[in-house]
Chains A and B, each alone.
Chain A
């Protein structure tokens, strides 16, 4: 007697196909996926995107529509908490730990300068932020350094170093020189100058204007340098526009001024 295909047998086969489809869906990641070997490669400018419950973007890696490849991570509120620079250009970027074998380091590169960069690094307990030459890592500008036991704020170019240093025994060090006759549009905390010298023989009045009208009260500290002479001298006027020193005598009077602002 020959076998007859019964309807019940067909239904079993349909159920098995459905079960296979469910397993296939699961294995392709619609619910979850595991790649046990090999890898995931996206070709031809494809993108990788992860969305939240309300279709809000959480992670995006791919083209931004402007010809740039970008990486973007957002928090639940939509704020970008990590983003790659996508303004274009050959070198503008931020590199985090570009040398995996080196110290912890972040480097900032700018299109406007292809020879220098700014780096943040932590090495041996020393935190350093500085402008540096790309080819050599040598400092070439500003620096903020927190070393063990001391902190430095300053600027160094080719061996010329001006900095303010604080140590953990309360010492303060200042290296460099004072810029003279700087009023900072009336806001300078300090106006330093030396007046007189050759030919400024007494009795004489030496006046110095600041340029801009200073916004507060200026307090002059002055001293006379010159040949010993039986003379007296004093700061005879001080205002927001300038200062004057008068001397009763002396030859080639040179006055050093240290004028600080208190208001």
Chain B
């Protein structure tokens, strides 16, 4: 299986800005089908905030967002996910590992095509996503705080005691409403 990205467009729909990444997916038997990926413009900003990745490291951020649509259920099952990992370092380590596996499995490349004696070097089409996506430090910090709140709430919810079934029924009877 091979994923190849061929073109990138920037679109706005209902005030939502996103990248549309065009490409192909080629099976091992040579069958080729089209691929179109809709990516909200601030996705790189979210990944930088979520996994505490240096926003200057756009190559890593780009690798993540291009690999994510191709992660299998097995990939997700391996390692911790963002909201249930014990810490962000663990979440980052496991997510980078699963994205690296998907990138290798689908032979996803974002390398610049080298120059030849006749043609200059050609940047990868998705380089535009890395270069032009918003990566504002204040926005990343605000998003980091939102992620921290979500992780804290999620972990607390998971640790909460199971609901009292009888108490819920009793309250419903007192309210005169079905539970």
Contact A209 B36 (CB under 8 A): no
Which residues of A sit under 8 angstroms from B76, Cβ to Cβ?
A: 239-240
Contact B38 A208 (CB under 8 A): yes
The 8 Å CB contact of B82, one of A206, A207, A210, A213, is A213
Interface-facing stretch out of A87-95, A126-134, A197-205: A197-205
Name the interface residues of A233-253: CB closer than 8 Å to any CB of B: 237, 239-242, 244, 246
Which residues of B sit under 8 angstroms from A204, Cβ to Cβ?
A: 33-36
Which residues of A sit under 8 angstroms from B69, Cβ to Cβ?
A: 207, 209, 237, 241-242, 244
B50's nearest neighbour on chain A, judged by CB, is: A213
Contact B40 A181 (CB under 8 A): yes
Majority-rule SS of A interface residues: loop
Contact A203 B13 (CB under 8 A): no
Contact B37 A207 (CB under 8 A): yes
Contact B39 A209 (CB under 8 A): yes
A185's nearest neighbour on chain B, judged by CB, is: B146
The 8 Å CB contact of B42, one of A211, A213, A244, is A211
Contact B150 A209 (CB under 8 A): no
Which residues of B sit under 8 angstroms from A186, Cβ to Cβ?
A: 146-147, 150
The 8 Å CB contact of B14, one of A181, A195, A213, is A181
> A205-B25, A239-B68, A239-B76 known; A195 and B150 CB under 8 Å?
no
- Interface size for chain A: under 10, 10 to 19, 20 to 34, or 35 or more residues? 20 to 34
Cα(A263)–Cα(B158), bound, Å:
10
Cα(A241)–Cα(B75), bound, Å:
13
Contact B14 A179 (CB under 8 A): yes
The answer to the question of B58 belonging to the interface, with a C-beta cut-off of 8 Å to chain A, is: no
Cα(A257)–Cα(B37), bound, Å:
14
The 3 closest A-B pairs by CB, nearest first: A211-B40, A207-B69, A203-B33
Pairs across A and B, CB under 8 Å, 30 listed: A181-B16, A181-B40, A186-B146, A186-B150, A193-B38, A195-B36, A196-B36, A200-B34, A201-B34, A203-B34, A204-B36, A205-B25, A205-B35, A205-B36, A207-B36, A208-B37, A209-B40, A209-B68, A211-B40, A211-B46, A212-B46, A212-B147, A213-B50, A215-B83, A215-B150, A237-B71, A239-B71, A240-B76, A240-B81, A241-B68
Binding site for B on A (CB under 8 A): 179-183, 185-187, 193, 195-196, 200-213, 215, 237, 239-242, 244, 246
Task: List 14 additional contacts besides A200-B36, A239-B76; criterion CB under 8 Å.
Answer: A180-B13, A180-B14, A181-B16, A186-B146, A186-B150, A187-B150, A200-B34, A202-B34, A203-B33, A204-B36, A205-B34, A207-B37, A207-B38, A241-B71
